[in-house]
Structure 1
Amino acid sequence: MIKYFFGLLLATSFLFNDKLYCQSNDSLNTYSLDNIVVTATKFEIDARYSPNRIEIITSNQINNSNGNRLADILNNSPAVYIKSYGSTASLKTISLNGLGAEHTLILINGVKINSFQNGQIDLSLIPKENIERIEIANNGISSIYGSEAVGGVVNIITKNSNHNLFDNTINVTGNAGYGSFNTSRFGVSLSSRTDEFNFGVYYSNEKSDGNFDYYFNNGLERILKKRENAAYNLQDAGINSQLIFNSKNRLIFYSAYSFQNKQVPGIETGTPPSKTEQKDKNWNNIISLENYFTERLILKTNFNFQNNLMNYEIKPVIQSYYKNLVTSISPELNIKLSDYDILTGYSFTYADLKSNEVENKSRRYQHALFISGSNYVINDLKLFASFRVDHFSDLKKNAFTSRLGFNFKPLEKIALNLRANVGNNFRAPTFNDLYWKESGNPNLKPERSFNFETGFLGLFELLIPIQFDFSFTYINAKDKIIWLPQRNFLWSPVNVGSSETKNFLLNLSYNQKISEQLELRFNSGINFINSKKTNESFQGDPTKDKYFPYLPLQSIKLGVMIDYKNFGIHLFYTHTGKRFSDFENKKSMNQFNILDGNITFDLSMLGTKTSLKFEVNNITNTDYQTISGYPMPLRNYFITLSINY
């Protein structure tokens, strides 16, 4: 099967990446890339002219994907690998460029949501109802965003956050669904738009027994079992609003609340799982003020408040709680000149963690100054530069980062853009690293890395217009924080780790509206990841020069989307290649191939749109794991009925 799909990849030259599709001009018989403005690098920039690869997951792709959480959407990107510990509500983390979740910055409308406690974010906490599009910026951008932006940046753009003029409309949408494992879901949303004000509110509730089928090898035979202690209840609510005072001033408000009450089955050992429960309450608020003094002088100020609470309990042994509070303000001034674009700003963040597992001094005042600029040296050569300094009160250290890049279009009549960027990046130690009771190390310093990326984005006509997007990324990381056993038999973090990553990513795509009633998208991507540990934790360390566990050495993703009139069929294939489950690379995990798909049908009548969606996950009933000991569901389905008025 792998050879077949690899041959299909080369023969068709398509990509799962709908970000910049082609348009034809019959009179000239030429093709050009679409100009799509993105904000993942803080600038509003045409994605064609960025110094780094940027992938856009559009609202159409989001609506046509399977699943209802952020991890389900990102899993279709060829650049992303999702580490999943089970079904919908289980922990799901991201890997970009062969690095960990703590090295990938996650933003909502440009505001950081990574936890100061562990540097990560559980992707299962974010529902897709409120997501308009997603921007994935490749490679490190600490010179703009600071800590965690080492492997890349994922920016989630919420609905009603754009600045277009709206017609006077009111929309109400209700949906209900049912599927495998006694999973039920319902939601409702309301939005209203005028020329001066718009808002949207939503609420959803999902429940499931979580008792999916899977195979367990007890050493003698494979036996079919049901996952125990895996039930969950997810509730999400939120509001987006935008108030346009006049043509020069506007206010945008975003607030989202998520409550998850779930059982945690843990690793499969063949014995009944412990009675483990976890409750997450997350409340995130963002206020953005935008002042357009002139067309060339714009001030944007973001205010953010986060209140995140987690209770983790293994009855009757462990009862842990973690309350993370974050408050930040970041004014940014954008100066737009004819050939120059300058963005400078200041950021202040206060973070505080209260927990029975860490010391009481877990708090941080973080100050940062940055400046970023771009200019056209000549018409087709654009240069980029950015610099940033961060100060951390608890570390009593500064972090200086910088980046240089360019984008060059060498041929006037051919849609081809060359790009490259180079810079240094960092990750600050987390509260867990510094202040974990009896084990934390308050003397840690930030991890640091040297990053380089190069590649091209082009459009060529090979019988049909095909978009090529190739990137090579190199990351050399030093002072990585590694937890090692100490003489007191406790594990403690130290700055001794180093790694080297070489990542090749080839994306090709085709997107064409064949007629008024037929649209076809065929997409594919192949990713080769070489991410190794390069240090010795002790003399003769057998883990030196070994691949990091759970990262596939290669992956292939294909997507086919066909929409005809009111009917749609969408298929998604993933091949996950060889991986290791240990640091010495002695234990390899099975490669696996997953095929998901859905069928949609829309009916419009009397101002009401009714949609029916039938999803099937793991169509081939594959037995697989992404993390050793955490089985994934076999074939399962979900049906959703939506009514929009």
Structure 2
Amino acid sequence: MRRFFLFAGLLALLSGVVNAQDEFVTDSVLLHEVATYAPYKKYQAGAKMESIPASQVEIAQSAGLDQLLSRFAPIYLKSNAGGLSSIRIRGTAADHTSVNFGGININSLTLGQTDFSSVPVYLFDSFDLQYGSSSAVNGSGSIGGAAYLGLNGNWTDGARVKATASEGSFGEQLYGAKVFLGNGKFESVTRLYYFMLKNDFPFTRTSDGKEFDQENAMIENMGLIQELNYRFSSKEWWKTAVWIEHDWHQVQALMSSHPNVPSETLDNKHIRIWSEYENRRHALQYKGGLGFVHDMQVYDNNGEQKIGTDRLIAEIEAKQDVHSSFGYKIGAKYKYIKPDVYAYSSDVIDHEQSAAFYLSSFYTPLKTLKLTVNLRQELVTNFDVPFTPSLGAEYRLLITDLSVLKLTGNLAKSYRIPTFNDRFWPELGNPDLKPEKGMSYELGLQYQYCSAAIQTDVKLNGFYMDVEDWIEWRPGSIGWEPENRSRVISQGVELQSNTDVFLRKMSFNFRLNYSFNPTEIKEDQITSLVGKQLIYVPKHVATVYLIAKHGLWSAFADASFTGERLADHSGSAKFPNGTVLDSYFLMNCGLSRDLKIKEQDFKLSLAVNNLLDNDYQNQPDYAMWGRSFRFTLSTDLNFNKNK
């Protein structure tokens, strides 16, 4: 373990990527990578945001979003091998991160969270992450952070077809295609994928050392995104995206249940539509969007126990840069929600409405200083929601022709409205729950350096988050019940550094992420829990990534370290403070070769995951994959006129 941290520390001295469109980078600094999060960053000075680079997205395109983030971001995801994965950003719970697709937060309204293993990496062009509270921008649930799923605007003039097929260990298969058709103004983009994993991997049962093959843990997901876009001019357009998803998996059984494993299933179907018109032809720019979401889950093929919701969404927004040093954005968002849950009574909840009003602005009183403010107020049927502001600042401490040193800071309030299950589940739900309320403080340093041979970006962020009225389901008088029981303090330090090095015909990219995140239950009705670490929140998470390119060849290696985690607070003779999951280290690598056949692009790739075949658990008594292999063939047939 010491060697790993020594290796990571050495890489930290070399690492970075320069974010394009940063207002504080001088013109003499070479910028080679566009920051897709620029629209979010404009009104959130001091907030920490990162884009997952295209090379890493390509490596993980056969998997779900959970695998992409756990390999390449300083974030822990609680998961098993059977198709369930929930995120933990900065020590917060799974329902404290919003996942945004256009103007839609795709989190379940009954559970309050997204299964990150069911979000297909293949369908999207970009993945942006916001660390820390962003409720003033994203609304309810963005206490720990936010994820943004992006689709690039291509405005195809001609035709283009991208296709991928991959085969891997344990019955893994991915088949995907993206078809672009357009005339420069009208564009149709069709994205399709099918993923299947038999999950029949071998494992050794920890209780007695016996060996088994995992049974009844199959995953089968499929989906499509259909885009229809029309560009009236370079500053006026209409875009529509329809995302249809069908995710099915067998519920993975405990290792202790083998052999004679029972087979239970979860079937999820989603329809998500977002249509948006935007006009930038005048000083006052405006846009409007309409959305519809249908979510439905069926457990173990029991059609009488459906858990679903339908929602309609409408949003309008106007913005203006009054001067290069001052601009504002104002908007409103409306949602109508109709639950379709077998257990809910219509006497308790028939529908719910909400409306949010927000104002954002930026001000640069000096060339070296930028200030931002965000204000948001949400109104919800029969529920009180707190007013939510945030303030941010960025100040350039040092500027040279090749480098920039920046100091950043951010203060933000956040909140989460209890889910429908929290409030309305029969006998157990509590309609009198208060919203969770958080206050976060962040301070950061960012150093950027750029020359013809090297580009580097190093960020160091410290954060402190105080969340009151934390909601948990705990055993009560008649069963598990939700209550506002805790006050939680999450604090820590994050280091992220990225470097690109160019040596003649070769290029290298090094990346290092490290997070130190002790969390503490500060107040609780159960006094024995006060002072304890939250469950499934490791203090240490680190990732390292290296890719080298030479001509048509590229090779990569990445590694991740996850520290010890508490799985519960129950206590035992072995672990008096609760069940402890051991730390683990995973390493992956791969090789790829680009091909040109009749002026069209092809790529062959081979990847090895868990190269060292390490045994580990992310949840007690759930087996995880050992060493596995994946072979991928991709093609990009480009017939664009503007190729």
Give TM-score scaled by structure 1 length. Answer: 0.91
> CA deviation digits over 1:563-587, x for unaligned, max 9?
2111111111001112111126332
Find the partner of 1:203 among 192, 216, 222.
192
* 8 Å CA contact 2:192, 2:225 repeated in 1: yes
Report the residue type matching 2:251 in the other structure: V
1:226 aligned to 2:219?
no
Decide which of 439, 444, 468 is 1:455's aligned counterpart: 444
Which residue of the partner structure matches residue 330 of structure 1? 315
Asked whether 1:3 is paired with 2:14, we answer: no
State the Cα deviation string for residues 552-606 of structure 1 (Å, max 9, x = none): 1101110011121111111110011121111263322111100012211110121
Q: Deviations over 1:16-40 (max 9, x none)?
A: 87463899xxxx9985666844447
- CA–CA distance in structure 2, aligned partners of residues 380 and 55 of structure 1: 22
- Pick one of 561, 586, 589 that aligns with 1:594: 586
Amino acid at match of 1:439: L
Alpha-carbon shift at residue 420 of structure 1 (Å): 0.4
Matches within 5 A, 1:110-259: 110-159=103-152, 162=153, 166=155, 168-218=157-207, 221-259=208-246
Which aligned pairs between 1:25-174 and structure 2 lie closer than 5 A? 36-39=34-37, 42=40, 44=42, 50-65=45-60, 67-87=62-82, 90-159=83-152, 162=153, 166=155, 168-174=157-163
CA contact (8 A) 1:15 1:507 kept: no
Corresponding residue number in structure 2 for 1:558 = 544
Number of the residue aligned with 2:272: 284
Give the deviation of 1:111 after TM superposition.
2.9
**CA distances 1:205-258 after superposition (whole Å, capped 9, x unpaired):** 22232211222122xx32222111112222111212321022442101111111
Is 2:632 aligned against 1:631?
Answer: no
Residue 530 (structure 1) aligned with residue 518 (structure 2):
yes
2:434 is the alignment partner of 1:445: yes
Secondary structure, in 3 states, of the residue corresponding to 1:50?
coil
1:40 and 1:154 in contact (8 A); partners too: no
Q: CA deviation at 1:84?
A: 1.1
2:456 is equivalent to residue 466 of structure 1:
yes
**Percentage identity across aligned positions?**
20
1-side partners of 2:193 and 2:242: how far apart? 15
| CA drift at 1:382 | 0.5
1:641 aligns with 2:633: yes
Task: Decide which moves more: 264-273 or 76-85.
Answer: 264-273
SS in 1 for 2:252: coil
The letter of the residue matching 1:534 is: K
What's the CA shift for 1:381?
0.5
Specify the alignment match of 1:306 in structure 2: 293
- Which of 283, 305, 311 is the matching residue for 1:320? 305
Q: Distance in 2 between matches of 1:350 and 1:225?
A: 49
Matched length = 621
Q: Are the counterparts in 1 of residues 216 and 251 from structure 2 also a CA contact under 8 Å?
A: yes
Unpaired runs of at least 5, structure 1 = none
Structure 1 pair 130–461 and aligned structure 2 pair: CA distance change class (3 A): closer
Matched, 1:547 2:537: no
After superposition, the Cα gap between the structure-2 partners of 1:182 and 1:39, relative to the gap in structure 1 and judged at 3 Å, is: closer
Q: Is the 8 A contact 1:16 1:559 kept in 2?
A: no
> Which of 605, 630, 633 is residue 613 of structure 1 equivalent to?
605
Q: CA shift at 1:344, angstroms? A: 0.8
Residue 11 of structure 2 is matched in structure 1 by 12
Q: Distance in 2 between matches of 1:362 and 1:503?
A: 42
8 Å Cα contact 1:40/1:155 also seen in 2: no
CA distance in 1, matches of 2:61, 2:210: 28
SS of the residue 1:632 aligns to: coil
Aligned counterparts of 1:145 and 1:175: Cα–Cα separation in 2 = 34
Partner of 1:401: 388
Sort the Cα spacing of 1:16 and 1:203 in 2 relative to 1 into closer, same or farther, 3 A.
farther
Q: Which moved more, 1:358-367 or 1:320-329?
A: 358-367
1:528-557 CA-partner distances (Å, limit 9, x unpaired) = 01112122223xx32211011121110111
Q: Is the 8 A contact 1:275 1:314 kept in 2?
A: no
Q: Secondary structure at the match of 1:239?
A: strand
Provide the C-alpha distance between the structure 2 equivalents of 1:335 and 1:545, rounded to a whole number of angstroms.
48
Comparing 207-216 with 401-410, which one deviates more in the overlay?
207-216
Question: Does structure 2 conserve the Cα–Cα contact (< 8 Å) formed by 1:137 and 1:152?
Answer: yes
* Counterpart amino acid of residue 417 in structure 1: K
Describe the shift of the 1:479–1:335 C-alpha distance in structure 2 as closer, same or farther (beyond 3 A): same
Deviations 1:306-328 (A, max 9, x none): 1111101288xx96321121210
Q: Give the secondary structure class of the aligned counterpart of 2:618.
A: strand
Q: Are the counterparts in 1 of residues 328 and 359 from structure 2 also a CA contact under 8 Å?
A: yes
Looking at structure 2, the residues matched to 411 and 309 of structure 1 have their Cα atoms a distance apart, in angstroms, of 53
Contact 2:167–2:173, Cα closer than 8 Å, also in 1: yes
Q: Deviations over 1:163-209 (max 9, x none)?
A: x6x46231123332222112223222211243212221022222232
CA spacing shift, 1:214–1:130, aligned 2, 3 Å: same
Cα separation, 2, equivalents of 1:503 and 1:189: 41
Residues 594 and 564 (structure 1), Cα distance of their counterparts in 2 relative to 1, 3 Å cut: same
| Distance in 2 of aligned mates of 1:544 and 1:100 | 17
User: What is the match of residue 472 of structure 2?
Assistant: 482
- Among residues 335, 340, 354, which one is paired with 2:326 in the alignment? 340
CA distance in 1 between counterparts of 2:391 and 2:58 reads 36
The answer (yes or no) to whether the contact 1:373–1:385 under 8 Å persists in 2 is yes
Preserved contact between residue 556 and residue 575 of structure 1 (Cα < 8 Å)? yes
Q: Specify whether residues 385 and 351 from structure 1 end up closer, same or farther in structure 2 by C-alpha distance, changes over 3 A only.
A: same
Equivalent position SS for 2:523:
coil
- Counterparts in 2 of 1:144 and 1:347: CA distance versus 1, 3 Å: same
Conserved 8 A contact 1:383-1:406:
yes
Residue 38 and residue 609 in structure 1: after superposition, are their counterparts in 2 closer, same or farther (change >3 A)?
closer
Deviation at 1:14, TM superposition (A): 5.2
Q: CA offset at residue 357 of structure 1?
A: 3.0
In 1, Cα distance between equivalents of 2:218 and 2:534:
32
Query: Is 1:478–1:498's contact at 8 Å kept on the other side of the alignment?
Result: yes
What is the alpha-carbon distance in structure 2 between the residues aligned to residue 205 and residue 571 of structure 1? 26
Q: Is the 8 A contact 1:66 1:615 kept in 2?
A: no
Q: Is the 8 A contact 1:16 1:558 kept in 2?
A: no
Gaps of 5+ in 2: 571-576, 638-643
Q: Is 1:435 aligned with 2:424?
A: yes
Equivalent residue letter for 1:244: R
CA 1:607/1:38 → structure 2, altered by over 3 Å: closer, same or farther? closer
Q: Cα gap change, 1:606/1:41 in structure 2, threshold over 3 Å: closer, same or farther?
A: closer
